């Protein structure tokens, strides 16, 4: 006879099973059929945050991709029509720095010598290569996207949309050129924006030189100011020293002035208010090196001077520090800028010329020492900002950057954010905080491979901002024929005519912040304000040939904007979520998304950051091969989004163990179902299992309903952890209660039991399918597609189960039974009795719903009798809570302790006790219920069970019978017998009493046709 179900191996080989399903899905065009099936259905709009195409898929990225896939699959099962467009981020420092490394280029000068056109082509190659890698990895993860119709942020279309936005920003008067001090990466040769500094890894612990430096006062003989700094390179840029006007300063015997608060022990020979020091002139330490000599160094007042660290006198270098620059504006201080774009000292600085800020540190310290300026030096550990891309410590420089003023937009942004539903909610609060406190957006970067800022400032004073390619073409004076892409270097060779004076004007050299590229996506990919649908119209510029994505028309944008849901890690609050929100509010006044799921960081399984150099980084390929995509996905989904994910092979092992419970349950159905010729009925998935249902069957049906309702609520709340927990609990109930309690019915071929188990398993597989798509579809294909005529070919084509509300009373009843059994097991294990040893009696107190299940409880716990009522087998044990009572009672503690141990105490209302003349409060004692002699006890949350532990001859004999049955069944298994094989058992004479009194039971349990006597050990033989 043909078997209905395919047999399953003992353990699933996840990677092999997944590879096989990937082929099947491809061959059967499962995803295309799903999209076809949902076409015209209600719309659910998801917008993918672009992944930077500069490395292969990492396990970190796979987390977000899994969440995106889970909810798209869920919505698809519910019939929603979706876009499935994947995106790649293709420009900016990430890409450039990778190419620089590959080409061995170390500075901007070397890039320019290499040639910008060739450099741009190399950058594109990198994007193309990694986009392929990422696509391959994402497919392997099981992510269903419209691969091939991806968006690439370096397309001319995307660039044009950003131009349109910048044009509008300019029209509104928000665009300006700022002259300010800013964090600067000397290696990358560019300033960075506030939000780039908020990325993970920017602030790192670092030991820097700590210097106390003496500045000799010019008008006070042999007196000096002492300042403290951790950046030696800024000392040559010093122009002033700040004191706190109302603080007290003191002069030491050696003439050094410091704040008294910093050195309270003095001694000081003279004291003055800070205000009295203001105006004093001093000599700079590097005055002989040109620039410093021309400056009059003096003491200025500053209320912000810290009295928590340093000397209370702060060295001010407006050319090398942000606050310094602002103070310099207030006091009209000269600005010395000692280093160039690459962070190297300029020629004005004599022997320092050409040294980097770090190279110069030791030499500056040496010089200060040799020339009598150094008071002391050491090392100082602090958090210091580094370049997010190349890890170089940042410096401060004065630059002219293009900025978007945000003050006018701020209230609108706050209102828009308040409309967004954030999960977890605190992330919305973070966004709110950021919006309240953020400064203007620095959008310019002095780099090459990025969005060309369309700014053409004319010498007549007019700023021309180009808003589209057609406008550029209309106003171009030259160079259009060589314009390969809207990109450097080609665009730089296209001068335009000034709107105001008609003269030729060139573009600024700067490129744009990459977050402009990503923030415009809800407009550039959905065809905002595009008059006519252009087939394959998104594949322009550098994206030509990489994608067949259309540029839709405005009606399409109206349909799909705003996104119903977006999801990225928390860091994106200040990055993609922010740039999108700002651009969307500026363009439309509306938020670009309705709901957001954010999630915290990924660490290794021991809680450390993952780093290539620490050897704890997990390669996605390795994870696919060793744990499989389903196990990875489960690990991601089991994670509450508000906590860091500790990812690794250890947790993966545990997940495999749990998935094995599901696997074993299916395998049980497959094996016994095949033996008994069970054939499921497809319509029962909707109507419920047929046949005469027993109470336990009805319970599993209700339990299945409960699962579907809990899981649905989890998906609707965008909380996969709820889904996973509900599923885990269900599989435990199904395996450790329904199957356990129904074993005999399966052996006897009870059609109804098979039908109910099949119903529960299949429905559960349907609802967990978004989380573990491979395993779920594999099992669906076996249990449903292969077994039922006309069944959907994939679980993903089967829609969502609609089972109605569960019967809560019945569920509560069985949940209580399971609790009683669980406590009974605890009591048993505390007594040290074997689980197989039958016992006389169990008393249950505090359970009401479980009363009707005495027989099941008795059977589960191997007791002869279950009683419901007061447990009087308990006795109160009270012990002193030593940390509290010890200090209070002192020497009397010993006597109290002895009285408690002997039971000489009186229980008072409210949980206190009177002992030996003392009243001990509730928290001063530790109270436990213990069984009296001959009883084992367990209690939890209002429920108490007491197990009578005394054994008589009859119970002992029965215990031996059960041991023997267990031993014989183990022998059957070890001999590799089939479930239905019959055997002959041979037992030694010593077991004759067991055979005489319980022979039938033994035979039935081990499928023995007869029992013979003889031999020294039990033996079995197949008949
Ligand atoms: Zn850098
Ligand atoms: Zn002009």
CA 192 to ligand 1 center in whole angstroms: 9
Burial classification of residue 213, based on how many CB atoms lie within 10 Å of its CB (0-12 exposed, 13-18 middle, 19 or more buried): buried
User: CB of 955 within 8 A of CB of 840?
Assistant: yes
Which ligand is the nearest neighbour of the Cα of 499? 2
Q: How many CB atoms lie within 10 A of CB 664?
A: 16
CA 827 to ligand 1 center in whole angstroms: 64
Strands 504-505 and 511-512: unpaired
Residue 461 DSSP label: S
CA 191 to ligand 1 center in whole angstroms: 9
Which ligand is the nearest neighbour of the Cα of 459? 2
CA 394 to ligand 1 center in whole angstroms: 8
Categorise residue 255: left if φ over 0, alpha if ψ from -120 to 50, beta otherwise. Answer: left
Please name every residue paired with 537 in a beta bridge, in sequence order, or none if there are none: none
Q: Report in angstroms the alpha-carbon separations of 176 from 392, 413, 459, 566.
A: 29, 20, 16, 31
Contacting residues for 917 by C-beta, under 8 A, at least 6 apart = none
Question: Which two structure tokens, joined as six digits, stand for 876?
Answer: 């109160």
CA 497 to ligand 2 center in whole angstroms: 8
Task: Name residues of the chain where pLDDT drops below 70.
Answer: 1, 873-874, 931
Q: How many Å apart are CA 828 and CA 839, to the nearest integer?
A: 10
User: CB of 363 within 8 A of CB of 355?
Assistant: yes
CA 343 to ligand 1 center in whole angstroms: 11
Which ligand is the nearest neighbour of the Cα of 496? 2
User: CB of 423 within 8 A of CB of 595?
Assistant: yes
CA 401 to ligand 1 center in whole angstroms: 17
Which ligand is the nearest neighbour of the Cα of 503? 2
Respond yes or no on whether the N-terminal peptide bond of residue 267 is cis (omega within 30° of 0).
Answer: yes
Which ligand is the nearest neighbour of the Cα of 185? 1
Which ligand is the nearest neighbour of the Cα of 501? 2
Phi, psi (deg, nearest 5) at residue 190: -150, 160
Question: Which two structure tokens, joined as six digits, stand for 156?
Answer: 């001319």
Which ligand is the nearest neighbour of the Cα of 505? 2
Phi, psi (deg, nearest 5) at residue 380: -135, 125
Q: How many Å apart are CA 790 and CA 685, to the nearest integer?
A: 13
Q: How many CB atoms lie within 10 A of CB 295?
A: 17
| Residue in 453, 476, 473 with CA at minimum distance from that of residue 465 | 453
| Residue in 28, 41, 50, 69 with CA at minimum distance from that of residue 549 | 50
Q: How many Å apart are CA 155 and CA 451, to the nearest integer?
A: 10
Which pLDDT score is estimated for 916? 82
Q: Report in angstroms the alpha-carbon separations of 85 from 149, 318, 528.
A: 7, 48, 16
| Residue in 209, 231, 227 with CA at minimum distance from that of residue 217 | 227
938's enclosing H/E stretch is strand 935-940
Which ligand is the nearest neighbour of the Cα of 92? 1
CA 478 to ligand 2 center in whole angstroms: 17
Which ligand is the nearest neighbour of the Cα of 457? 2
Which ligand is the nearest neighbour of the Cα of 391? 1
CA 169 to ligand 2 center in whole angstroms: 20
Please name every residue paired with 243 in a beta bridge, in sequence order, or none if there are none: 301, 313
CA 459 to ligand 2 center in whole angstroms: 6
Question: Which two structure tokens, joined as six digits, stand for 771?
Answer: 């989380």
Question: Which two structure tokens, joined as six digits, stand for 66?
Answer: 């899994």
Which pLDDT score is estimated for 314? 94
CA 391 to ligand 1 center in whole angstroms: 6
Residue 734 DSSP label: I
Specify the 3-state DSSP secondary structure of 771: coil
CA 383 to ligand 2 center in whole angstroms: 47
CA 175 to ligand 2 center in whole angstroms: 18
Which pLDDT score is estimated for 873? 61
* Start-to-end CA span in the chain (Å): 22
CA 655 to ligand 2 center in whole angstroms: 67
Which ligand is the nearest neighbour of the Cα of 463? 2
User: CB of 619 within 8 A of CB of 131?
Assistant: no
Q: How many Å apart are CA 737 and CA 813, to the nearest integer?
A: 13
Task: Give me Rg for the CA atoms of the chain.
Answer: 38
Contacting residues for 955 by C-beta, under 8 A, at least 6 apart = 837, 838, 839, 840
Q: How many CB atoms lie within 10 A of CB 805?
A: 9
Which ligand is the nearest neighbour of the Cα of 395? 1
| Residue in 619, 674, 681 with CA at minimum distance from that of residue 648 | 619
CA 119 to ligand 1 center in whole angstroms: 18
Q: How many Å apart are CA 710 and CA 727, to the nearest integer?
A: 9
Specify the 3-state DSSP secondary structure of 180: strand
958's enclosing H/E stretch is helix 953-974
Respond yes or no on whether the N-terminal peptide bond of residue 389 is cis (omega within 30° of 0).
Answer: no
CA 464 to ligand 2 center in whole angstroms: 8
Spacing of C-alpha 25 from chain mean position: 29
Q: Helix and strand tally (H, E) in the chain?
A: 33, 40
CA 514 to ligand 2 center in whole angstroms: 29
Which ligand is the nearest neighbour of the Cα of 387? 1
Which pLDDT score is estimated for 891? 85
Q: What is the largest CA-CA distance in the chain?
A: 118
Which ligand is the nearest neighbour of the Cα of 187? 1
CA 115 to ligand 1 center in whole angstroms: 20
Q: How many CB atoms lie within 10 A of CB 957?
A: 14
Contacting residues for 191 by C-beta, under 8 A, at least 6 apart = 182, 183, 184, 397, 399, 401, 442, 444, 445, 446
CA 50 to ligand 1 center in whole angstroms: 22
Query: Which sign, positive or negative, has the C-alpha torsion 917, 920, 924, 925?
Result: positive
User: CB of 372 within 8 A of CB of 213?
Assistant: no
Which ligand is the nearest neighbour of the Cα of 189? 1
CA 46 to ligand 2 center in whole angstroms: 44
Q: Report in angstroms the alpha-carbon separations of 285 from 239, 256, 551.
A: 10, 15, 62
CA 180 to ligand 1 center in whole angstroms: 19
CA 187 to ligand 1 center in whole angstroms: 5
CA 325 to ligand 1 center in whole angstroms: 22
Which ligand is the nearest neighbour of the Cα of 390? 1
Q: How many Å apart are CA 74 and CA 82, to the nearest integer?
A: 11
CA 265 to ligand 2 center in whole angstroms: 66
CA 488 to ligand 2 center in whole angstroms: 23
Q: How many CB atoms lie within 10 A of CB 960?
A: 15
| Residue in 469, 439, 441 with CA at minimum distance from that of residue 454 | 469
User: CB of 842 within 8 A of CB of 854?
Assistant: no
């Amino acid at each position: 006879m043909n078997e209905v179900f395919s047999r399953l191996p003992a353990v699933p080989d996840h990677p092999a099973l997944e590879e096989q399903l990937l082929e099947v899905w491809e061959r059967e065009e499962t995803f295309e059929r799903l999209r076809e099936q949902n076409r015209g259905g209600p719309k659910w709009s998801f917008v993918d945050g672009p992944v930077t195409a500069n490395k292969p898929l990492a396990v970190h990225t796979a987390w977000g991709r899994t969440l995106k896939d889970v909810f798209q699959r869920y919505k698809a099962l519910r019939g929603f029509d979706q876009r499935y467009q994947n995106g790649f981020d293709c420009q900016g420092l990430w890409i450039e720095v990778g190419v620089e490394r590959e080409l061995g280029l170390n500075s901007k000068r070397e890039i320019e010598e290499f040639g910008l056109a060739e450099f741009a082509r190399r950058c594109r190659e990198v994007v193309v290569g990694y986009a392929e890698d990422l696509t391959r990895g994402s497919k392997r993860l099981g992510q269903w996207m419209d691969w091939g119709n991806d968006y690439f942020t370096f397309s001319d279309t995307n660039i044009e949309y950003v131009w349109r936005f910048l044009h509008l920003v300019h029209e509104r008067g928000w665009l300006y050129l700022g002259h300010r001090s800013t964090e600067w990466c000397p290696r990358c040769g560019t300033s960075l924006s506030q939000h780039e500094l908020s990325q993970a890894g920017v602030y790192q612990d670092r030991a820097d030189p700590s210097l106390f430096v003496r500045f000799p006062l010019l008008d006070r003989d042999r007196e000096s100011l002492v300042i403290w700094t951790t950046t030696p390179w800024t000392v040559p840029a010093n122009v002033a020293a700040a004191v706190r006007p109302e603080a007290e300063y003191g002069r030491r015997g050696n003439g050094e002035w410091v704040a008294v608060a910093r050195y309270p022990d003095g001694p000081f020979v003279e004291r003055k208010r800070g205000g009295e020091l203001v105006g004093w002139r001093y000599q700079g330490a590097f005055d002989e090196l040109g620039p410093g000599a021309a400056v009059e160094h003096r003491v200025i007042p500053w209320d912000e001077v810290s009295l928590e660290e340093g000397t209370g006198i702060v060295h001010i270098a407006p050319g090398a520090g942000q606050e310094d620059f602002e103070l310099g504006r207030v006091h009209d201080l000269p600005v010395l800028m000692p280093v160039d774009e690459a962070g190297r000292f300029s020629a004005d600085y004599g022997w320092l010329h050409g040294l980097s800020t770090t190279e110069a540190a030791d030499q500056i310290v040496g010089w200060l020492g040799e020339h009598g300026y150094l008071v002391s030096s050491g090392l100082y550990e602090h958090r210091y900002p580094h370049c997010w891309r190349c890890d170089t410590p940042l410096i401060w420089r004065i630059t002219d950057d293009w900025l978007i003023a945000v003050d006018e937009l701020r209230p609108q942004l706050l209102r828009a954010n308040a409309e967004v539903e954030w999960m977890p909610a605190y992330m919305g609060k973070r966004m709110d905080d950021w919006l309240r406190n953020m400064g203007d957006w620095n959008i310019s970067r002095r780099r090459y491979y990025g969005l060309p800022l369309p700014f053409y400032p004319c010498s007549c004073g007019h700023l021309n901002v180009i808003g589209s390619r057609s406008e550029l073409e209309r106003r171009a004076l030259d160079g259009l024929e060589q314009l390969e892409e809207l990109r450097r270097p080609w665009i730089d060779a296209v001068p335009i005519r000034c709107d105001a004076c008609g003269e030729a004007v060139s573009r600024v050299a700067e490129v744009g912040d990459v977050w402009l590229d990503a923030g415009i996506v809800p407009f550039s990919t959905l065809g905002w304000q595009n008059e006519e649908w252009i087939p394959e119209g998104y594949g322009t510029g550098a994206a030509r040939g990489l994608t067949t994505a259309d540029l839709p028309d405005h009606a399409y944008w109206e349909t799909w904007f705003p996104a119903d849901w977006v999801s990225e890690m928390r860091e994106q609050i200040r990055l993609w979520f922010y740039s999108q929100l700002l651009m969307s509010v500026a363009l439309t006044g509306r938020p670009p998304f309705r709901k957001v799921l954010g999630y915290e960081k990924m660490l290794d399984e021991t809680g450390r950051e993952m780093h290539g150099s620490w050897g704890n980084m997990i390669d996605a390929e390795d994870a696919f091969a060793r744990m499989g995509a389903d196990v990875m996905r489960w690990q991601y989904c089991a994670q509450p989004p508000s906590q860091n994910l500790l990812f690794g092979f250890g947790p993966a092992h545990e997940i495999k163990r749990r998935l094995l419970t599901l696997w074993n349950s299916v395998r049980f159905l497959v094996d016994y179902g095949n033996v008994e010729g069970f054939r499921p009925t497809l319509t029962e998935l909707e109507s419920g299992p047929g046949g005469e249902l027993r109470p336990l069957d009805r319970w599993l049906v209700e339990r299945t309903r409960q699962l579907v309702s809990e899981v649905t609520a989890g998906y609707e709340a965008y909380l996969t952890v709820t889904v996973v927990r509900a599923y885990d609990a269900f599989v435990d109930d199904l395996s450790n209660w329904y199957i356990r309690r129904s074993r005999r019915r399966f052996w006897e071929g009870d059609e109804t039991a098979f039908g109910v188990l099949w119903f529960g398993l299949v429905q559960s597989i349907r609802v967990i399918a978004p989380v573990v798509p491979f395993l779920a579809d594999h099992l669906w294909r076996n249990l449903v597609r292969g077994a039922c005529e006309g069944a959907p070919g994939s679980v993903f084509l089967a829609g969502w189960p609609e089972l109605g509300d569960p019967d809560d009373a019945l569920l509560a009843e069985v949940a209580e039974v399971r609790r009683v059994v669980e406590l009974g097991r605890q009591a048993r294990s505390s007594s040290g009795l074997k689980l197989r040893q039958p016992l006389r009696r169990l008393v249950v107190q505090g359970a009401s719903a479980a009363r009707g299940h005495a027989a099941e409880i008795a059977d589960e716990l191997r007791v002869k009798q279950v009683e419901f009522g007061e447990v009087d087998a308990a006795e109160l044990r009270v012990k002193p809570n030593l940390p509290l009572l010890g200090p209070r009672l002192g020497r009397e503690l010993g006597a109290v302790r002895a009285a408690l141990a002997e039971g000489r105490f009186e229980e008072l209302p409210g949980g206190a006790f009177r002992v030996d003349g003392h009243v001990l409060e509730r928290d001063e004692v530790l109270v436990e219920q213990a069984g009296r002699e001959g009883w084992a006890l367990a209690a939890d949350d209002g429920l108490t069970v007491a197990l009578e532990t005394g054994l008589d001859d009859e119970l002992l004999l029965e215990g031996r019978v059960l041991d023997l049955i267990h031993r014989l069944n183990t022998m059957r298994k070890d001999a590799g017998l089939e479930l239905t094989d019959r055997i002959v058992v041979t037992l030694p004479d010593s077991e004759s009493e067991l055979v005489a009194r319980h022979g039938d039971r033994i035979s039935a349990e081990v499928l023995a046709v007869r029992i013979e006597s003889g031999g020294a050990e039990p033996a079995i033989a197949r008949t």
